Amino acid sequence: MNKKLFALLSVIMIASMALAACGGQKTEVPAATDEPTTAPTDAPTAEPTAPPTAEPTPIPDVPIATYDGTSLSVAECGNGYTGFIKSVVAQDANTVVFTLCKSDPAFLSKIAFSPFSIYPQEWIESTAGDETRTSEGLEHPVGTGPYMVSEWKRGESVTFTANPDYWGEAPAAETLVFRWSSESAARLLELQAGTIDGFDNPGPDDFATIQADSTLQLSLRPALNVFYIGMTNTFAPFDNVKVRQAIAQGIDRQRIVDTFYPVGSEVASHFTPCSIPNACDGDAWYDFDPAAAKALLAEAGFPDGFATKLYFRDVVRGYLPQVSSVAQDIQSQLKENLNIDAEIVVMESGAFIEESGAGRLDGLYLLGWGADYPHITNFLDYHFGQATQQFGAIPAAIYEPIALGATIADPAEAAPVYTEANNAIRELVPMIPIAHGGSAVAYRADVVNPQASPLTSESFFATDPGGRDVFVWMQNAEPISMFCADETDGESLRACEQVTEALYSYEINGTATHPALAESCTPNEDLTVWTCALRQGVTFHDGSTFDAADVVATFNMGLNIGSPFHVGNTNLWEYYDYLWGLMKKPGG
């Protein structure tokens, strides 16, 4: 018996080693050529050591910042450092100066973004764990905001209580509760039952139900996003501009918006939504014209259409609330209008983003973009900059004016440049913008000052739940953590925004910026030095006083990769990295 067992065990061991070896090849670790060729049977150790050459040792980035409590700076811009910020200095207790490496017309829009909220210096230091924030740091943020976290019952709810010492207008409800459910039908039912006061993202088909119900109200959220059909121009037949133009004219975009999008959505006239300055300079998109489209396609050499694929991921976003239905409709339109046979391929979300971003999808794909901050650079530069690969090779006619536009602060001055850029996009069709998807927030009818922020950052202190003490809010998902300096997920950010504040904030229900923890931030002439005068007499939830050192400490935590306090949840500091650039140089 024992003998048998031992034999079995060793067989499973060997099988496991074989399997593990296959896995190793999958991750493309170079094959170990210099591994001694001993029989595999004599090495069933629990922790096999990898041969030294098997893994290219990654060269870590080098920290370059110096921080002394009142100033955070790098020695020089450029020379390997690609970030925006040269220094953050506390000039006195109530003044902070940001010196930038290049002029930044979007500075205020960016600084108001909630990941850059200010934390007390002592808290930053005391909640820094070895590798990540301590669970205290991840779950009980300390800020200056109108609410404080009182309890986070994982999997169920987060409860906030009003901050009695709030510097601004006192919150209308004493207690705020966040709940979540991924099913819009369930969220609606909860509201109808009166167990919640408001919920995010009603299903597009429920808009009418809510509007017809006198006990409920609907706030439409302006569309600050875009849904487009992407193509990679390095694959045939999409390398032919006529094919791209044909598809652009052969899709009835109005029908898609009318059938599948909620009220408040619109057919995209340009890539960037028009509420953003300069977005809609230049000609509007093509009209739907199947005959012209068919002719163009014939001219391009495909009178009978062709076969291709239609890739998407089954993930609901504001810009694409009914993915699968829209995909099926586009598929049937392609067939009907252009005789193009598009086979639907649903991909896993991560793989889809990776493949499309690298320009490796050989067919059409459905993707979109939601604004991080309300500025045209957030739309155009990301998608049509020279380095972008997701549409194949971006023509110079498109990326040159975009690069120029990013250095001009005054929208009027930038208008001719963006006209050129938008017209080039229309002419060369790197993708087909379809819609700006509206969404909404539903509330009970007695809720006063209902909110639906275009940036999905509702601040509930300003919303009164009909005189009740508790305001219950239901969103799509649970926050991942509440340490939002190192978080990107919108559901997490919204929870943090009740608790922490940045130097500026976005106006309620809008995108304009207002002073928050700063009373003002004023630039020098070429927009490279921003001097912020801080609000005085503000205290954090832990009782400490807010001053300039807290601001510098916060940016040190976010930007300085050499700091012992540069630990968060994922430790990627994505928004710090993406909007400002971490203070580092490539090593080696």
Nearest distance from C-beta of residue 254 to other proteins, angstroms: 11
Nearest distance from C-beta of residue 271 to other proteins, angstroms: 17
- Tell me the three state secondary structure of residue 420: helix
Q: How far apart are CA 363 and CA 307, in angstroms?
A: 9
Q: How far apart are CA 50 and CA 21, in angstroms?
A: 11
Nearest distance from C-beta of residue 223 to other proteins, angstroms: 18
**534: β partners:** 518
Nearest distance from C-beta of residue 92 to other proteins, angstroms: 36
Strand order in the sheet with 147-153: 147-153, 157-162, 175-180, 470-475, 198-200, 439-444, 216-221
- CA-nearest of 402, 399, 427 to 241 is 427
Nearest distance from C-beta of residue 532 to other proteins, angstroms: 27
Nearest residue (CB) to other proteins, 27 versus 410: 27
Nearest distance from C-beta of residue 314 to other proteins, angstroms: 5
The residue with tokens 């098997």 is 54
| Structure token digits, residue 76 | 């020089």
Nearest distance from C-beta of residue 22 to other proteins, angstroms: 8
Nearest residue (CB) to other proteins, 24 versus 392: 24
Nearest residue (CB) to other proteins, 7 versus 236: 7
Nearest residue (CB) to other proteins, 35 versus 76: 35
Nearest residue (CB) to other proteins, 17 versus 527: 17
Nearest distance from C-beta of residue 571 to other proteins, angstroms: 5
DSSP symbols for 107-120: HHHHHTSGGG----
Nearest residue (CB) to other proteins, 1 versus 412: 1
321 phi/psi in degrees, rounded to 5: -75, -20
Nearest distance from C-beta of residue 481 to other proteins, angstroms: 7
Nearest residue (CB) to other proteins, 156 versus 507: 156
Nearest residue (CB) to other proteins, 239 versus 289: 289
Nearest residue (CB) to other proteins, 138 versus 216: 138
Q: What is the DSSP letter of 395?
A: P
Q: Could you tell me if 108 and 461 are in contact, meaning their C-beta atoms sit under 8 angstroms apart?
A: no
Q: Give me the half-sphere count of Cα atoms (radius 13 Å) on the Cβ side of residue 44.
A: 11
Nearest distance from C-beta of residue 13 to other proteins, angstroms: 8
Nearest distance from C-beta of residue 500 to other proteins, angstroms: 19
Nearest distance from C-beta of residue 526 to other proteins, angstroms: 28
Q: Give me the half-sphere count of Cα atoms (radius 13 Å) on the Cβ side of residue 502.
A: 25
Nearest residue (CB) to other proteins, 527 versus 572: 572
**Residue 237, preceding bond cis, omega within 30 degrees?**
yes
Nearest residue (CB) to other proteins, 417 versus 447: 447
Nearest residue (CB) to other proteins, 50 versus 445: 50
List Cα–Cα distances, 392 to 210, 232, 236, 386, in angstroms: 43, 5, 11, 11
Nearest distance from C-beta of residue 54 to other proteins, angstroms: 6
Q: Could you tell me if 529 and 523 are in contact, meaning their C-beta atoms sit under 8 angstroms apart?
A: yes
Nearest residue (CB) to other proteins, 301 versus 357: 357
Q: Could you tell me if 72 and 53 are in contact, meaning their C-beta atoms sit under 8 angstroms apart?
A: no
Q: Could you tell me if 106 and 377 are in contact, meaning their C-beta atoms sit under 8 angstroms apart?
A: yes
Number of H helices, E strands in the chain: 17, 23
Count of Cβ atoms closer than 10 Å to residue 303 Cβ:
11
DSSP symbols for 249-276: HHS-HHHHHHHHS-TT-EE-SSSS-TTS
Q: How far apart are CA 357 and CA 388, in angstroms?
A: 8
380 phi/psi in degrees, rounded to 5: -75, -45
Q: How far apart are CA 584 and CA 561, in angstroms?
A: 7
Nearest distance from C-beta of residue 154 to other proteins, angstroms: 4
Q: How far apart are CA 199 and CA 292, in angstroms?
A: 45
Q: How far apart are CA 304 and CA 340, in angstroms?
A: 8
Q: How far apart are CA 562 and CA 582, in angstroms?
A: 10
Q: How far apart are CA 487 and CA 573, in angstroms?
A: 7
Nearest residue (CB) to other proteins, 79 versus 195: 195
